[in-house]
Structures are given as C-alpha cells and as structure tokens.
Structure 1
Amino acid sequence: MTSYTTSDIESWERFYRANFINTLTGFKSVNLIGTVNELGQTNLAIFSSIVHIGSNPPLVGYINRPVKAAQHTLANIQASEVYTINHIHPSFVEQAHQTSAKYAAGISEFEEVGLTPEFRENISAPFVKESSIKYALTLQQIIPIELNDTFLVIGKIIAIQVDNNVVSEDGFLQLDKAASICSNGIDGYYTTELIKRYSYVKFDIQSLKIS
C-alpha cells in the first residue's frame, strides 16, 4: 500500500489529481437535472453530487461547480426556481454523459443528445421521459462555498414519478429493479445490485455490563 501526503497531491498533474480525488470518495448517485431558461428553452446537465438533505420536509441538494464552468443550470434554477432530477439507466447512459459538454446558451441538450423532454401540469421544468425515476423540486436555498467557489443548491420535492415495480411495501425504492446507475469520477458508470437489507439497529443500554 502506498501513502500520499499533501505535498504529493499538490505536485500531481491537474487531470491525474482530479481523477484520483474524484474517484477516492467512491461511488456516487448520478442524475440529469432538467431546467428551462427565461425564454422557455430547455437545458439538461449531468451531476454526480446529488445528496439527501432530509425527508420532512423532503429536501435534496446538489453541488454546482463554479459559475464560469457550469452556469446554465444554476442560472435557470435561479430564474425559474423549479427543476427536475432524473435517474440515468444503461439504455441512455451515453446520451447522459454527452450532456457534460459545454453547449452554448440557448442550445437544448435534449435535442443535441436525443433525449425527450416531458412536461407535467404546473411544472415548468422538463423531466427526462426515458427515466424511470424522476422528481421535480422548487428552489429553497443556494449556499455559496467560498473554499472553491461552488454552490450547494437545496430544493424541496414537489412531484415524483416512479415505476410501480420499484416501490416496496415499506417505501424502499429498489433502484436495481429500475437499473439506475451510479458513477465514479467524472467518466465511469456502474450498474448496481442489492446485497442485503438489514433491520433497523437499536442500542440496548440494558445489555451493557459494567465491571
């Protein structure tokens, strides 16, 4: 096993360092975020930083890169305050990855990569029709992270679409049945398989013995 120090990490070539640190954190949820701009033009971008914030109220966050690097999604969310998050499946992973390209403002990634925008009543942002698990959110808070000029964007879930065979009796979503994929780094994609579900762990203070 090799050990690395801060000076080692800082000495690495830029892309080597990015790949190493990005994959070091392990597998991540990867999704497509759908938005519209003030002219109603659709936008679609891939993100691997989606995180559960809380269930009551139902809050989900994601990290938006610095504005210079990824401005359209954040600008659209700020303008409309509505967006969608869509799971990615093996049948369209290549198209999903292509949305990471830096398209000019006003160009729809939906059209460029061949995915289908889907709209629901009273929700201005587009869903990805091909996705089996997707949900819409309203913007709640944007928290600047000064350390690297990124932003934590937090939204509240207002609508959900899920294939029926994915939902268990206790509300657990069997993502392997939907073939939702995960990612590692910026260009590695993986399928998933459930190992086992365990019962809720309770700490029994009565079982402690003091010697």
Structure 2
Amino acid sequence: MKLENFRQWNAADLDNLEQRYRANLVNSLSGFKSANLIGTIDSSGTSNLAIVSSVVHLGANPPLIAFINRPDTVERHTLDNLTATGWFTVNQVNVDYWQQAHQTSARYPQDVSEFDPAGLTAQFSGSCPAPYVAESRLRFACQVVEQQRLAVNGTVMVIGRIVELQVANGVVVEDGYVDIEALGTVAVSGLDSYHRTERLGRLSYAKPDRPPRRID
C-alpha cells in the first residue's frame, strides 16, 4: 500500500497520546493473541485466576512456556502466589466461557477468588497445588523455573516448565498437532476483543528447494 493510505504516528505522537487510547492502540498492534487463564493459589488456600494474552512457547525439550506480568508496583496476586508456591496452571479459553474469563481481569481483593464472581469451577490435580479451570479443554500445570524482571519497563517474565498436560479427547492428531480450533479456542486482540478462528490450512516443513505443500 502507498504511504498516503496510512495513518502515521511518530515516537513523540505516541508518547503524547491519552493513556487509555495509547493502551488500546499499542495492545492491538501485535494482532491475534492466545487467551489463557493463569491459575494460582496463595498460602491460605485462596485460588486466583487472571486472564493473560502473553503466553508464548519457549521450547519443547524441556517443555517451557513464558508469560508477562505487569509491573508489581501495585498488588499482583498472580505473581505473589506463583512466587510463593512455585506453581501455576495455564487454561486455554474457549467459546463457552470467554465472557466469564474476561471478568477475571477485574481487580478483586486478595481474599476473593475470581472463580466465584466469574462463575467458573476450580479443579485440582494431585500433580499441582494450583487450580485448573474445569471449563477449559486444554490446560497444563507449570513449575516456575525462572523469573526475569525486564529493566526496560519493570514487567516480569515468568518461565514455567510443563509438568502435566490435559487435552480433551479427539483433537491430538498422529503427528502430535493439537487442533485447537476443534476445541473452540478463542483468540484475543487488543485488551477486550475476542475472536473465533478459521484455519486456512497446515503446510509442510519449509525447504529452500521446494514450494510449500498443504498437509491437511
């Protein structure tokens, strides 16, 4: 597209935007992201749920994921809990409970479990003290292996090793691919927009001497 077809902001423009407008704008730039609920528990047994859109794959051997916590200049119950216990769960959000999942972003007091006002069900496994979301169809438990505070903005990257994985029957194909679309998984864009997906197709492993080939 020609440059005249673009709306443009420079660094100073971005710095001077109204706070909420800038938050919506910049959070939209990374496109569709995964919607997951992070489950934790505190030392008194109160469960916590927080929706995040920053879960990323770090490696398969060992199986590692990471997600970003906002700066802990105010209370961050998720970060406090997983630091204290060393555990958290990741629960993929699906079409059946995306609105309830969004409600967990409200700022409830420490002694209120987001499961209750969101109308979700805590489910526990013998492998992990943190709660799963019973309504989730793809969920896994992680043991904290590292936390990195990012100097650039004070956010905290939490890295976890997957020690238990639960996926609904019938969606893991022969080569290990998980058909998350069959699970009704939703994506999120910006801070508050939720989306269904439509798969275009799977492609063969890319090689320099041949064009991509459909494998589904």
Given candidates 198, 203, 206, the residue that maps to 2:203 is 198
What residue in structure 1 maps to residue 38 of structure 2? 33
Q: Does 1:75 align with 2:75?
A: no
User: Which residue number corresponds to residue 104 of structure 2?
Assistant: 99
Specify which of 138, 158, 165 is matched with residue 160 of structure 1. 165
* Structure-2 residue corresponding to 1:55: 60
Alpha-carbon RMSD = 1.2
Q: Provide the aligned length of Structure 1 versus Structure 2.
A: 205
Matched, 1:140 2:145: yes
Does 2:8 correspond to 1:8?
no
Moved over 4 A (4+): none
| CA–CA distance in structure 2, aligned partners of residues 27 and 166 of structure 1 | 22
2-side partners of 1:171 and 1:51: how far apart?
A: 18
Find the aligned partners of 2:133 and 2:74 in 1 and give their Cα distance. Answer: 23
**For 1:176-187, what aligned pairs fall within 5 Å after superposition?**
176-187=181-192
Matched to 1:145, the amino acid is L
Alpha-carbon distance in 2 for matches of 1:122, 1:51:
22
Could you say what secondary structure the match of 1:165 adopts?
A: coil
Deviates more, 1:157-166 or 1:61-70: 61-70
Q: Taking structure 1 as the reference length, what is the TM-score of the superposition?
A: 0.94
1:28 & 1:46 partners in 2: Cα distance?
12
| Shift in CA distance, 175/45, structure 1 to aligned 2, threshold 3 Å | same
1:70–1:33 Cα change, 3 Å? farther
SS in 2 for 1:18: helix
Q: Conserved in 1, the CA contact under 8 Å of 2:127 and 2:164?
A: no
The one-letter amino acid of 1:178's match is L
Q: Following superposition of structure 1 onto structure 2, how do residues 100-139 of structure 1 map, counting pairs within 5 Å?
A: 100-139=105-144
Distance 2:188 2:18 in 1: 23
| Maintained 8 Å contact 1:64/1:70 | no
Deviation at 1:70, TM superposition (A): 5.3
Structure 1, unaligned runs of 5 or more: 205-211
Give the Cα–Cα distance (whole angstroms) in 2 for the partners of residues 198 and 122 of structure 1. 36
Q: 1:70 to 1:91 in 2, by over 3 A?
A: farther
Larger helix fraction of residues = 1
Q: Could you tell me how far 1:69 is from its partner in structure 2? A: 4.4
Shift of 1:106: 1.4
Contact 1:53 1:60 in 2 (8 A): yes
Indicate the residue corresponding to 1:19 in structure 2: 24
Q: Does 1:189 align with 2:194?
A: yes
Q: 1:4 Cα shift?
A: 1.6
